[in-house]
Amino acid sequence: MAEFTSIGVIGRPGHNGAVETLQRLHAFLDGKGRSIIFDEVTAGMMQMPQVRAVPVEQIASHCDLVIVVGGDGSLLHVAKHVFEVPVIGVNRGRLGFLTDVLPDELEQRIGEVLEGKYISEDRFLLHAEVVREGNRQEVGRALNDVVLHPGKAAQMISFELFIDGQFVYSQESDGLIVATPTGSTAYALSAGGPIMQPQLDALVLVPMYPHSLSSRPLVVDGASEIRLVVGAKEALEPQLSCDGQVRYTARAGDEIFVRKNSCSLKLIHPLDYTSYQACRSKLGWGSRLAKIDD
């Protein structure tokens, strides 16, 4: 296991108790003799002028471990900047599928990580780009999902779906979610998609309120190239979002390409972490039945 000596710390404003947790984390890491680097926003939250701070886009180049304090959205927000180094999350949000260290266990769990007691897994990201009138434009990366949706107007949009160059269907709906296994427990789950094991090399395509009784989620190989063609007569201007952030406003005839990114996010977990335990805890799955005494 790698030894972590330089630790990047990122928090998100607005999370209850985040500043208190950041202060505890700073004191703990400092007591362990680790070098600590904050991103500039987090340093402002801390109101500690002596802390070392860099822009979030540069933090990965200054450390060998990143700790995110916040919810899953916090980790999604920084994933595209920190995929070069391992990341662990301290949950100050609601669900915590990605940020699985509880604040009350901070010193114990982070201490175990510093001692090399952890498990790690790679989560791949998606890459989205748009071709308009022959010009190709990069849109962004996503750890959870890339979503084509109508934006503010609650109206159906029309598009065609191609997978690896093969025509699949045309559809009228509120849009389409292209999700990774990581994102299968997020927006895609709310839209009726399946829960996927994080280790799967696959994508799930989930229609959003399709005007058809036969449209269902579709699971495809992770290496597939997804192409969406916005309807030629589309009067609306659908939007393309990466992990919930609008990145592009599409027009009729635009071609949207989504494929696996060459980089991946290395997530660190406590030794007793399993994705099934996370589902039991976050989704209210039942625990084991009581044993009958002999």
Residue numbers annotated as active site: 72
Q: Cα separation of 226 and 4, whole Å?
A: 38
The answer to whether 19 and 128 are in contact (CB under 8 A) is no
Q: Cα separation of 87 and 258, whole Å?
A: 25
Amino acid at 246: V
Distances in Å between the Cα of 125 and the Cα atoms of 20, 55, 143, 191 are 31, 22, 5, 20
Q: Mind spelling out the 3-state secondary structure of 180-232?
A: CCHHHHCHHHHCCCCCCCCCCCEEEEEEECCCCCCCCCEEEECCCCEEEEECC
Please say whether the dihedral angle defined by the alpha carbons of residues 210, 214, 219 and 221, taken in this order, is positive or negative.
negative
Parallel, antiparallel or unpaired: strands 119-132 and 135-142: antiparallel
Q: Cα separation of 183 and 281, whole Å?
A: 17
